[in-house]
Amino acid sequence: MAPTKVLVPLVRPTIRRVREEVAPKVRDDISAVVMGKKPWPIFLTGEVGSGKTCAVLCMIDIYGGIYRTVQELAEEIARAKRGELVERLGNVCSSKVTAETVRGWWTRTRFAVLDELGLRDKPTDHEAEVVKNVLDDREGLPLVVVSNLDLGDIMDVYDARIADRINAGTPVVVAGESRR
């Protein structure tokens, strides 16, 4: 397979997001973390369709940064390990992207979102490693982890190490009727 260009950041432009549609309590909780009153990472949890992804995309619109689902990031790193990704540098030259390069983007970006944590009942070992690495690489840095699962379910689906790293931050519950 020929190498393909890396697109950074990947943001869902088709998902509707309006800041005013994010519940005031969720905005207040997020603001408390952004202002340094509560610790990173933000763990945004709630029912399917409650507006979690809308809220984080509003944050990306404001702060910029990287947005990926767990599955997208795991696949991006796997493709980098196989030498299938290149980054275009100007009009002429390009360079291969390594897994370390992808991890570096997550470390250096000012803001990062990891969505759909625990989407599948059992993540692959690679996906679990990717999640742990993101949590380690972004420790103390602006990161939002989004899931339909609560912390206990995260421990069951992943493990205690991942749950503990998420628990070190600020949980924000998004409640309400499905917006879909």
Query: pLDDT tens, 127-168?
Result: 999 999 999 999 999 999 999 999 999 999 999 999 999 999
pTM of the predicted model, to two decimals?
0.87
How close are the terminal C-alpha atoms of the chain, in Å?
37
pLDDT surpassing 60 at residue 119: yes
pLDDT tens figures, 17-38: 778 888 899 999 999 999 999 9
Nearest to 113, CA basis, from 158, 165, 54, 153: 54
Which domains does the chain show, CATH number per domain?
4-174 (3.40.50.300)
pLDDT of 91 reads 65
pLDDT surpassing 90 at residue 85: no
pLDDT of 7 reads 46
Where residue 6 falls among pLDDT bands split at 50, 70, 90? very low
Phi, psi of 74 (to 5 degrees): -60, -40
Amino acid identity for residue 138 in this structure:
R
pLDDT of 9 reads 46
